[in-house]
Amino acid sequence: MSGLRRSDSPTRAGARAVEWDARHGLVKVNPIVAWSDDDVARYAAARDLIVNPLVERGYDSIGCRSLHPPGRGREGRWAGTDKTECGLHAGPDSLLPVRV
């Protein structure tokens, strides 16, 4: 399961709800792949979910290494590199039990 969304970045624009991840040898399910930022905000508000306080301060993307300037989303997240993801994606050997 992932929280990957097409609206996150151009590299995710073609993401599907169910995909084969050849690198990790597993099926990847992206249940909110078609959600917009507004969809996520409405879902969180309707369920009174905790949202990172930095989101309210204008940080659209909170990466694993640094914050990105308010209002600039994922722009410049990995400036100067060919990297597009932070590496938090887990393979089958590192999956943890998930409480649903």
CB distance 90 to 25 below 8 Å: no
Q: Which amino acid is at 52?
A: N
Cα–Cα dist 28/16, whole Å: 9
Which residues contact residue 65 at a Cβ distance below 8 angstroms, ignoring those fewer than 6 apart?
86
Q: In a 3-state reduction of DSSP, which class is residue 75?
A: coil
Look up 64 and say whether it is catalytic: no
Q: What is the pTM of this model?
A: 0.65
Cα–Cα dist 65/47, whole Å: 29
37-91 confidence digits (pLDDT tens): 899 999 999 999 998 888 788 776 666 555 556 555 555 555 666 665 665 554 4
Whether 98 has a pLDDT exceeding 50, the answer reads no
Q: Which of 51, 62, 86, 95 is catalytic?
A: 86
